[in-house]
Structure 1
Amino acid sequence: MPTNPPTCSVTFIPLIVAHRPTESPYQEAPHGTDMAMLRIVPATDVRAGDLVLGAFDGPLNPNRLRWAMQSAPVFVAIPIRMWGAVCLDGQTPNWEPDELIMVIPRELRPADRYTVGDRVERTVVHTPPLDYAGRQPDVRLMIQRGTVTAVDDGALSIAWDGRWPNAEIPDTGIRPVDHLRVERSRAATGFAVGDRVTRHDGTTTGVVMELCLHWYNARSLARVDWPGVDDWDTRVVETSSLVHALPAAPVAA
């Protein structure tokens, strides 16, 4: 005699996902994403490869209709916990551990298919050298970009741009570079992380590793990996002193 399958109670949460604008700073989920696959999970449960649509506005309540408010451009998660927060994008501690996040699980979103020449990025945990007073600055989460050089039965070989000294690579996975973010960075500063640059005299080619603003005058700065230059501070130059270089072979991992 066949047995009846086990049963369990299911709670349905009403949810509305409104149309998301495509202009800056928001963007739609990739073509082919099934929005019916949206899930709501705590930030600590977001996994590498999940597609993050933003934070959920309010606690879950099956008796109340909520609006899902997109709080960030859609991106592939490379999450890491740091400073008591969750860095879903691999760099910024914007999410509380118990904050509710809207995601498309990695198993239910269009799969990333890499080919030679594709640009990808990962998280790097960098420990700066001691400062002038001998104190140890806080570690930093940085994004490092690279280029796929080979694809062999799903295994990737990647040449990463530049070098981060005193760096650890956490197991958070990789994701495709969002070219829209790259273009936004170039529109704001003239450059993006991973760009190959030279000084105006054109004598040396380096790789942009970080972009920031001067603490006092807010001028745009770039930390550049120059060949043979290992000093942390001398790598920082004003972006006004840089020009884009012709593409060169990436630095091997």
Structure 2
Amino acid sequence: MPECNVTFLPLIVADRPVEDPYQQAPHGTDMTMLRIVPATDVRAGDLVLGEFDGPLNPNRLRWAMQSAAAFVALPIRMWDAVCIDGQTPYWEPDELIMVIPREHRPADRYAIGDRVERTVVHTPPTDYAGRQPETRLMLQRGTVTAVDDGALSIAWDGRWPNAEIPDTGIRPVDHTRVERERTATGFAVGDRVTHHNGTTTGVVMELCKHWYDARSLARVDWPGVDDWDTRAEETSRLAHALPAVPAAA
């Protein structure tokens, strides 16, 4: 085995937030495996705990800030940033990130009915205001329909036209985040909806705010509508689609 020099950095946990919305690493995580790496070195499946404030220096203590919730990375480069969460172009390429490598975090165990999500790179032909289209990263959710010796079959919610699926893997849906989406807008990505008093059922693919007055908007994949992704509609006009009730025998 080749020898290499190892630098040890002191780590002192001064405060560990436990109130909402902070979320600790999953039970069974070996915190001795925590590593500090540049954002560009975060891999799909790594457990992201937060960021490290400042360059690595064994002779100086710096702050390390836990993120609002530990999450599994779906990293992808976008413009001059790294989207570690699979959606947000937030992290600088050389920003230092605290992670538990995927080899050392508790393995995901999926069962039929589990909710998962993946990153989609979407480029609409134009947006609802007629402006120049802009490529953006979206999260698409789905449901595990079969598990066969580790291989999964997944029914993805809705469809994203003009989209690419990067090889960033999948991760379990954070149900706390889903509930926050519903609290803020009444709906979550993946919800089945209808127009009020309507019968056609669509799937919420994206939630956003109106550029002028911050009204809650949703892009809904309606069956038979090919350009739904260019338009957003007010969530106040939508209602949750109720499951069909079986007819009495």
TM > 0.5: yes
Q: Could you say which residue in structure 2 is the equivalent of 1:251?
A: none
Select which of 201, 209, 225 maps to 2:205: 209
Select which of 81, 87, 90 maps to 1:94: 90
Query: Is the Cα–Cα contact under 8 Å of residues 220 and 229 in structure 2 kept in the other structure?
Result: no
Q: Distance in 2 between matches of 1:234 and 1:39?
A: 41
Whether 1:53 aligns to 2:58 is no
Select which of 118, 130, 135 maps to 1:122: 118
* 2:56 aligned counterpart, secondary structure: coil
Query: What do residues 95-131 of structure 1 show as CA deviations (whole Å, max 9, x unaligned)?
Result: 0001000000000000000000000000000011046
Q: Distance in 2 between matches of 1:148 and 1:173?
A: 14
Q: Which AA in structure 2 matches 1:240?
A: S
Q: Which AA in structure 2 matches 1:222?
A: A
* 1:15 aligned counterpart, secondary structure: coil
Kindly state the Cα deviation for residue 133 of structure 1 after the two structures are TM-superposed: 10
- Superposed structure 1 runs of 4+ greater than 4 Å apart: 131-136
How does 1:232-251 map onto structure 2 within 5 Å? 232=228, 235-247=231-243
Farther off after superposition, 89-98 or 131-140: 131-140
Q: Distance in 2 between matches of 1:196 and 1:133?
A: 25
Farther off after superposition, 143-152 or 20-29: 20-29
Percent identity reads 86
Query: Is the Cα–Cα contact under 8 Å of residues 117 and 172 in structure 2 kept in the other structure?
Result: yes
C-alpha RMSD of matched pairs (Å): 1.9
Kindly state the Cα deviation for residue 27 of structure 1 after the two structures are TM-superposed: 1.1
Q: Distance in 2 between matches of 1:96 and 1:223?
A: 29
Whether 1:143 aligns to 2:139 is yes
Q: Could you say which residue in structure 1 is the equivalent of 2:70?
A: 74
Select which of 105, 108, 111 maps to 1:109: 105
Kindly state the Cα deviation for residue 204 of structure 1 after the two structures are TM-superposed: 1.0
Number of residue pairs matched by the alignment: 244
Q: Relative to 1, partners in 2 of residues 1:18 and 1:206: Cα closer, same or farther, differing over 3 Å?
A: farther
TM-score between the two structures when normalised by the length of structure 2 = 0.92
Structure 2: give runs of 5+ residues left out of the alignment: 245-249
Kindly state the Cα deviation for residue 41 of structure 1 after the two structures are TM-superposed: 0.4
TM-score between the two structures when normalised by the length of structure 1 = 0.90
Query: What do residues 158-194 of structure 1 show as CA deviations (whole Å, max 9, x unaligned)?
Result: 0000011101100000000000000011111111100
* 1:65 aligned counterpart, secondary structure: coil
Select which of 46, 58, 61 maps to 1:62: 58
Q: Which AA in structure 1 matches 2:197?
A: D
Whether 1:177 aligns to 2:186 is no
Q: Could you say which residue in structure 2 is the equivalent of 1:231?
A: 227
Farther off after superposition, 17-26 or 42-51: 17-26
Query: Is the Cα–Cα contact under 8 Å of residues 220 and 228 in structure 2 kept in the other structure?
Result: no
